Amino acid sequence: MTTPSQDEKINQFKDNQQPCVKLLSANYCTPGIMSRCSAGTVWHEQKKCKFASKSTVSNRCMHYIVSIDGHCDCVKAQREMSALDQVEKDQQGI
């Protein structure tokens, strides 16, 4: 009996992945000089963000500030992205 090659093992793993498993939410806050929302400009696109909260006055996330180019005003989202950015820098030795 032959043993499967490394490529065959990888392909078997890929074939066994569940197609119904999807990312339910993500943090769309983009870190920078001013953190911005990269999810989009309307609620339909922004609601996928795990920090999204529907605005009561318009069709957008309440954290999305239109007047300053889509700035994300959610402190928790900004902190999470800053922490991830720092971990990435630490791993790269920067």
Q: Mind listing the pLDDT tens digit for each residue in 3-53?
A: 555 555 445 545 555 555 455 679 999 887 889 999 999 999 999 999 999
pTM: 0.64
Please compute, for residue 19, the number of CA atoms within 13 A of its CA located in the half-sphere on the CB side: 1
pLDDT of residue 22: 53
> Among 60, 54, 22, 63, which residue's Cα sits nearest to residue 40?
60
Looking at the domain assignment, is residue 73 inside a domain?
yes
Q: How many domains does the chain have?
A: 1
Tokens 């909260």 label which residue?
53
pLDDT of residue 49: 94
Report, as an integer, the average pLDDT of 61-68. Answer: 94
Looking at the domain assignment, is residue 76 inside a domain?
yes
Domain around 79: 23-92
Looking at the domain assignment, is residue 54 inside a domain?
yes
CB 55 within 8 A of CB 62: yes
Looking at the domain assignment, is residue 66 inside a domain?
yes
